[in-house]
Structure 1
Amino acid sequence: MDLFGDLPEPERSPRPAAGKEAQKGPLLFDDLPPASSTDSGSGGPLLFDDLPPASSGDSGSLATSISQMVKTEGKGAKRKTSEEEKNGSEELVEKKVCKGDVISVEKTVKRCLLDTFKHTDEEFLKQASSQKPAWKDGSTATCVLAVDNILYIANLGDSRAILCRYNEESQKHAALSLSKEHNPTQYEERMRIQKAGGNVRDGRVLGVLEVSRSIGDGQYKRCGVTSVPDIRRCQLTPNDRFILLACDGLFKVFTPEEAVNFILSCLEDEKIQTREGKSAADARYEAACNRLANKAVQRGSADNVTVMVVRIGH
């Protein structure tokens, strides 16, 4: 059983994703079995059948730019969750991911990601319950781990990861969705929530929570809201330019294709000044990241806006 849902082979020409309508098009990956509300990810099978061999080719360097526009509501708890998950991921990856055969590495990566999400959720809930008054915050999460030239994407909630890939046939850049949104109106998600004794009203869990999976949100855990992420795998190609990771505050006012094209236009802006110690490429990616977050606010996004752009260098 292949526990990773593979994205299309690099030779194919993926259709650009664009907002809600893009989800009605052809599937870009195979769904994993739905997680139960109590599944920690530790009980599932870890055997891989007929996995394609990973290429040993160089995926190039990765460089990251981050911009964050945070509203005051829930700021402390959500920021704390993000910091804990980042630190926890780095520590577990360093301890568990080692050189070995492809199957062993992939099993380790999957276990590492599942354990990290589970650990982060448990630790956050402990801290939340110890506060007076107790925190009722929660957070979505999207994590991209690069091992050689393979990306492993773990996500829950409605934050998203988008890959900018150049299509040689159309001679245009495409926005390829790497993650899967978890909405309580989706059949598998709604069934899990109802089985746990919860309900979905007005497209929300108990009529309140917009997402069906999250870190934190302790009061909804009994209703089937889980911290088990979806995990996907994607092989990088020489045509891949950058990865965009952002929360729903961006995608409420930008489609993925619009966001990718906005970044591309910034990267072509030769007027962006280079600061001391930064290359011209780094300066342009940093400017693109900041401009995109600012533009989302200008377009009227009333939610937190966090944008990360990871440059793929060759």
Structure 2
Amino acid sequence: MKTFEFRHASSIGDAIDAATTTGAKYLAGGTNLIDLMKGGVEQPSGVIDLRRLGLTSITSTDTGGVFVEAGVTNSALANHPLIRTQYPVLSHAILSGATTQLRNMATAGGNLLQRTRCPYFMQTVFAACNKRDPGSGCAARHGFNREHAIFGASADCVAINPSDMAVALAVLDAVVHVQNETGRRTIPIDRFFVLPGRTPEIDNALDPHDLIIGIELPPSAFAEHSWYLKVRDRHSYAFALVSVAAGLVIEDGVITAAALALGAVAAMPWRLPEAEASLIGKTPTAVTFDTAAQLAMVNAQPLSQNGFKVDLGRHSVVRALTLAAVDRGAEPAPDTSG
């Protein structure tokens, strides 16, 4: 690991000033950044510890939503009564990820910033990774790409975003609040992540020195009918091959609103507007869900080793919608991933 300077931030302004003047990285839970530093992928000149800033509250908003400060741990977020009752799909998604120990350390803000687990990115022994070393090439495109993107990839990068939480946030239309030396602003979740294009080293829409302050969840109509489905090689401590966040509003036996997003298929949570539109006005039946699933995968472009994700994605959408259509009293499934 490269030598670096370490300091505790005393306030939000102090953290931003330090990042602006030194180029240091922000550190919250550190469950991803420290691993990348150990492997030589990230080599910051300094690290600014945010843990003394607080930012650990979950509160109701005046509009009927919830504001989650960036320092809230994943465990605290998943188990908070407001989240379990109003946003069970988010609780379910978080509890599907990592282990209890990691969720106890990882934070909401850090979850948004976690980087791809593509092995060519994670291991510096591989020279060809445009995300880690721009211009070096993408070894995954013609190498090991079983877990890689089938949507939104480019000639320069086929990596995926690994977050479970972000997929749920996508169907909830969350808004990310950030602050830098010029002030505070908001970024809708559908604009927060960016596709690789010709600049795969850029993961999101943050400006230099932006500090995530929190995540705003608008009021949700999906509390009674939502589900997060994660399909992976093993049940515990594995990243998704395909995941689906599904939310439905069902009135008098008819679907009146729907939201669908796929995870582990692109560099960002992949919303499915055509599939969502196909559900509106329909009864929640196997035929309705199969039609939506077919539409969900129409534009998939699999690589040499991940064509199975197309069929897996179809079945996963049907399964997630089927489970979402069941009323569970707005409680997520029990945590069995640890």
TM-score by length of structure 1 reads 0.35
Higher RCO, Cα 8 Å, sep 6+: 1
TM-score by length of structure 2 reads 0.33
